[in-house]
Amino acid sequence: MKHFKTLSAFFNYMELPKPEHPMLSVLTASNDNFLPCPKESSPPITNDCYSISLKKVIKGNLNYGRTKFDFSNGVLIFLAPRQVLQWDSSVVFEQKGFSINFHENFLKGTELAHQIKRYGFFSYSVFEALHLSPKEEEQIESIVNNIEHEYQSNQDQFSKEIITSQLSTLLKYANRFYERQFINRKELSHELLDRFNAQLQEYFETGQLQQNGIPSIDQIADILQVSQRYLSDTLKKETGKTTTEHLQLFLVEEAKNILLNPNKNISEVAFELGFEYPQYFSRLFKKKEGLSPSEYREKHSLN
């Protein structure tokens, strides 16, 4: 897999004009018609840059992260450094939108360097891209116009601060719009929760817990074909609990059923649920139930 350490090397590969700044580029539909990628196709590639792009794909599939998606609407896509990007010759872009690319070192020494890591949508896959309403698109494009104006002006000691401030504003609006998207997609969020629980149930019923141990959130996300961060954010918005909390609650509920079988000791119950160490199982159970597994068994065997 090809990896590009500089913005210039990445742009050279993409057959785009050399950026005005060694660590920053702003492309819009208005500047020299370079927005649709001139490179017809690419195998998987990565680079050390962040990318924020508003794109509309007329036809074809774009692989972004782990997901292939067919775009029919304009969407805002966020790429983090070292995230995999791939496309083929069937992709046709509409002449619309913008693309802001900046090397991770561009943010060094700024508040945004710390803030940007808190925005989970840089870890989302393309299926979870942000679909903007016309009004939201206008707001974003207004900010991008400010960034482009500063980018095209003569650079001075204030340029970087002004640009990073505008980038920070753009990301705050994106975060707000994502909150709106989570609300509007309530049914999809509930469906994802159901699929998450069904996957855990299947994992338990087929003996995979005992055989392979407790699955990681990444494993479950892969099976559900979503990014780990999007899964966590969606369940958090839907239930107020993280994916880890849901996993732990599932294990505790299954433990309650198994504990009612007096022929199994606490260690056997722990191993059946995928715990490598019975002590960890006992601590988790007591934390969630207020009783140790032994106390729970004694209490309910008397009823």
State residue 74's pLDDT score. Answer: 62
Q: Is residue 84 a contact partner of residue 46, using CB atoms and an 8 Å limit?
A: yes
Last-in-domain residue among 150, 167, 184? 184
Provide the pLDDT for residue 70: 40
If we measure between CA atoms, which residue out of 132, 77, 99 comes closest to residue 28? 99
Dihedrals phi, psi of 45, to nearest 5 degrees: -135, 160
Q: Per the structure, how many domains does the chain have?
A: 2
The pLDDT assigned to 85 comes to 79
Instruction: Show which of 164, 184, 204 is a domain's final residue.
Output: 184
The 3-state DSSP class for residue 42 equals strand
Partners of residue 149 on adjacent β-strands: none
Measure CA 202 to chain center.
25
Q: Which helix (H) or strand (E) holds 156?
A: none
122: CATH: 2.60.120
Residues 130 and 267 in one domain: no
Domain identity same for 117 and 258: no
CATH number at residue 274: 1.10.10.60
Candidate from 6-15, 61-70, 159-168, 228-237 with smallest mean pLDDT: 61-70
Which comes out higher in pLDDT, residue 50 or 230?
50
Q: Are residues 178 and 204 in the same domain?
A: no
Determine the structural domain holding residue 113 and report its residue range: 2-184
Judge whether 267 and 162 are in contact, CB under 8 Å: no
Residue 196 and residue 178 share a domain: no
**pLDDT, tens digit, 9 for 90 and up, residues 3-41:** 999 999 999 998 888 888 999 999 887 655 445 566 677
In one-letter notation, the amino acid at residue 186 is: K
pLDDT at position 281 is 92
In this structure, are residues 64 and 42 in contact, taking their beta carbons and an 8 Å threshold? no
